[in-house]
Amino acid sequence: MSNPFFDGRAGTYSKPNTGSSSNNLKDIYKILSKSNNPMQVFQNIARNNPRMAPIMDLLNKGYSPEQVFNAMCQQRGLNPQEFIKSITG
């Protein structure tokens, strides 16, 4: 399944598409929202997906997950609140 934040080239981003990746995002959102340690969740995801390295680099530099998310949405011309609504149902 494709990652809606990456277009297949390491570290490059693309606009999210609809479909099965939306279900993945919903699953990730649920895991993060129920986690006592969201940073550990990000680290586990990054361990299994090297394309997450740019995100982890930003998080390790002290950016909050919210800042990273908002920046990624802005790069794609997305409204972060609308995007969250689309995955939280």
Residue, of 45 and 9, whose pLDDT is higher: 45
pLDDT in tens, 25-81: 777 778 878 888 878 887 888 888 888 888 889 989 999 989 998 998 898 899 999
User: What global pTM score does this model have?
Assistant: 0.56
| Cβ atoms of 42 and 52 closer than 8 Å | yes
- The domain ranges of the chain are 37-88
In the three-class reduction of DSSP (H, G, I as helix; E, B as strand; rest coil), residue 9 is classed as: coil
Instruction: List the Cα angle 19/24/26 in 5-degree steps.
Output: 100
The DSSP output letter for 14 is -
DSSP string covering 37-88:
-HHHHHHHHHHH-GGGHHHHHHHHTT--HHHHHHHHHHHTT--HHHHHHHHH
